[in-house]
Amino acid sequence: MSAQTDRPRILVTRKLTEAAEQRLATRFDVQFNASDTPMSAEALTQAMRDFDALVPTVSDRITGEMLRTEGRRVRMIANVGVGFSNIDVATAQELGVAVSNTPDVLTDATADIALLLILASTRRAYAAEKTLRDGAWTGFSVVDGLGTSIQGKVLGIIGMGRIGQATAKRAAAGFGMEVVFYNRSDPGALSFPARRLDSIDAVMQAADVVSVHVPGGGAAPLVTAEHIAQMKPSAHLVNTARGDSIDQAALVAALQSGRIAGAGLDVFADEPHVPEALRAMDTVTLLPHVGSATQEVRTAMGLLAADNLEAFFAGRDLPCRVA
């Protein structure tokens, strides 16, 4: 426990980059989680009573029950992440607890990882690397390990927000892909050619690669088993958004039966649990939720969380308020 000061008491639930931790330490009476392991629900509930603000991240579930804790002192939650499906934002709003996130600074890094997964899946990079690492490579072959080219193929974007647009732009401008997309509302003028389709089904049917960019946290996955069943047998599915945005069990079944050709996944329904069935398939490229994981971006996210906190305690508008 830190010494008593009149600066706001802040709990940072996971380790941040040094620059971000230093900035927070200069402005707040801050407690860091040096072990960098996820805190228990009990510890987070207790923190509601002990701190003025929390700085959680996507691995912390901040429930309505926690927010309703008797004697709650927390008035502000500065999430380190653009996604905030880990927080019961509706309850926070109802109780007048401010919530902020960290958009924009991670858009390019996450789009880069989407492209990495699109390429890895279509070029069968994991299977090829595994052959080599297993010592099973017998030398160059004209016909072994063939993937498919993405030039001229159709990329289907589900969710044309900031990261969806950055992914589509890279795919169109850098790799000659034709872009179709589904977005609930009109995203306005785009800086690359793209065709808006009127349903997820239409995108699933048209796409050679589907890339998912919708927030999770809904009562049910937006991309359902029925949607996955519409995909071409040669198609690949990439998800860098949230694991619960798609029906993971249906995806596993489609991959196992060869109903679709491959997948590239950076996010999972119940992280850090990754189904054994997924880990066993060499048609799937798996990453441990690293979409925004660069030194620069993780620092920018921490600093943006600090900006939000500073604005809140100074009585200014939050740069990125979500509740």
Active-site residues: which are they? Answer: 242, 271, 289
Q: Residue 269: how many CA atoms within 13 Å on its side-chain side?
A: 17
CA distances from 195 to 25, 159, 179 (A): 48, 13, 6
Q: Measured over all CA atoms, what is the biggest interatomic distance in the chain, rounded to whole angstroms?
A: 70
Distance of CA 120 to the CA centre of its chain: 18
| Stretch of 37-45, 75-83, 246-254, 280-288 contacting ligand DGY, by CB under 6 A | 75-83
| Stretch of 78-86, 133-141, 143-151, 244-252 contacting ligand DGY, by CB under 6 A | 78-86
| Stretch of 81-89, 112-120, 130-138, 220-228 contacting ligand DGY, by CB under 6 A | 81-89
Rounded to an integer, what distance in angstroms lies between the CA atom of residue 224 and that of residue 245? 9
Closest to 107 (Cα-Cα) out of 318, 307, 294: 294
For residues 83 and 164, which CB has a smaller minimum distance to ligand DGY in the complex?
Answer: 83
Q: Which two tokens stand for residue 177?
A: 């892909």
The CA-based angle 127-130-133, given to 5 degrees, is 155
How many chain residues are in contact with ligand DGY, going by CB under 6 A?
Answer: 7
Q: How far is the CB of 93 from ligand DGY (least distance, A)?
A: 19
Phi-psi region of 167 (alpha: psi -120 to 50; beta: other; left: phi over 0): alpha
Rounded to an integer, what distance in angstroms lies between the CA atom of residue 257 and that of residue 142? 27
Binding of residue 83 to ligand DGY (CB under 6 A): yes
Binding of residue 81 to ligand DGY (CB under 6 A): yes
Site string for ligand DGY, 103-142 (x = CB under 6 A): ---x------------------------------------
Torsion angle of alpha carbons 15, 19, 22, 27, nearest 10°?
Answer: -110
Closest to 205 (Cα-Cα) out of 167, 249, 184, 235: 235
47, 62, 82, 251: which one contacts ligand DGY (CB under 6 A)?
82
44, 58, 209, 260: which one contacts ligand DGY (CB under 6 A)?
58
- From the CB of residue 316, how many other CB atoms can be counted at a distance below 10 Å? 10
Binding of residue 159 to ligand DGY (CB under 6 A): no
Q: How far is the CB of 17 from ligand DGY (least distance, A)?
A: 13
Binding of residue 216 to ligand DGY (CB under 6 A): no
Q: How far is the CB of 299 from ligand DGY (least distance, A)?
A: 12
| Stretch of 24-32, 43-51, 77-85, 180-188 contacting ligand DGY, by CB under 6 A | 77-85
Site string for ligand DGY, 235-274 (x = CB under 6 A): ----------------------------------------
**Residues 254 and 226 sit within 8 Å (Cβ to Cβ):** no
Location of structure tokens 């690359």: 192
Closest to 297 (Cα-Cα) out of 92, 110, 132, 144: 110
Q: How far is the CB of 306 from ligand DGY (least distance, A)?
A: 16
Binding of residue 299 to ligand DGY (CB under 6 A): no
For residues 176 and 288, which CB has a smaller minimum distance to ligand DGY in the complex?
Answer: 288
Helix (H) or strand (E) holding 31: strand 29-32
Binding of residue 292 to ligand DGY (CB under 6 A): yes
244, 291, 308, 311: which one contacts ligand DGY (CB under 6 A)?
291
Q: Which two tokens stand for residue 311?
A: 């604005």
Please give the residue ranges that form the binding site for ligand DGY (CB under 6 A). Answer: 58, 81-83, 106, 291-292
